């Protein structure tokens, strides 16, 4: 067949057979293949929609859990602040009580020491007066040349003690000022 005798615009028998075979194949595909593909695609779309909904739900749950966690964390921080404030208040009250107790103990020790000093001072004064009385008696015996009797002796000692007490009381009162 020569090329000049055929016209490609005019359909020949092969074209019609190929066209009919194509239409039959399209019909078979439309009848048997497309419904299966559409069902698989629809199933896949539903699965994706379900997964997206589950992801949205998980995101909402996570946000809710995060908000709950933040609230609980803030409550824990507030409790911690309250506990620290209570501990500080307790420490301050304990410190104040310890200071008061220490001051009372200090006052007791000072009072006890002052009492001991007063007792020691009185004992020293009495010892000194007794020695002074003996010295005065010895001096008086030498001057007078005779021994003084016991009653006179006791009177001289009592006078010396009274004089020393007067002097020490005046000196102690002057030293206390």
Domain ranges in the chain?
18-176
Tell me how far apart the alpha carbons of residues 5 and 20 are, in angstroms, rounded to a whole number. 25
What pLDDT is stored for residue 15 in this prediction?
82
pTM of the model: 0.41
Tell me how far apart the alpha carbons of residues 2 and 5 are, in angstroms, rounded to a whole number. 6
pLDDT in tens, the chain (177 residues): 445 566 667 777 888 899 999 999 999 999 999 999 999 999 999 999 999 999 999 999 999 999 999 999 999 999 999 999 999 999 999 999 999 999 999 999 999 999 999 999 888 888 888 788 777 777 777 677 656 677 777 787 788 778 877 877 776 666 555
**Token pair recorded at residue 113:** 């020491």
What pLDDT is stored for residue 162 in this prediction?
81
């Amino acid at each position: 067949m020569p090329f000049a005798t055929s016209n490609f615009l005019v359909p020949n028998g092969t074209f019609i057979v190929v066209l009919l075979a194509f239409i039959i194949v399209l019909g078979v595909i439309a009848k048997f293949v497309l419904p299966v593909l559409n069902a698989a695609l629809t199933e896949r779309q539903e699965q994706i929609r379900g997964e997206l909904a589950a992801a949205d739900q998980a995101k909402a749950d996570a946000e809710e859990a995060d908000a709950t966690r933040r609230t609980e964390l803030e409550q824990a921080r507030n409790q911690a602040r309250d506990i620290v404030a209570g501990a500080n208040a307790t420490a301050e009250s304990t410190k104040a009580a310890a200071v008061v107790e220490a001051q009372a103990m200090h006052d007791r020790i000072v009072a006890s020491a002052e009492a001991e000093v007063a007792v020691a001072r009185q004992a020293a004064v009495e010892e000194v007066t007794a020695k002074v009385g003996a010295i005065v008696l010895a001096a008086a015996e030498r001057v007078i040349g005779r021994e003084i009797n016991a009653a006179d002796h006791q009177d001289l000692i009592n006078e010396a003690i009274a004089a020393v007490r007067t002097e020490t009381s005046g000196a102690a009162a002057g030293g206390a000022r």
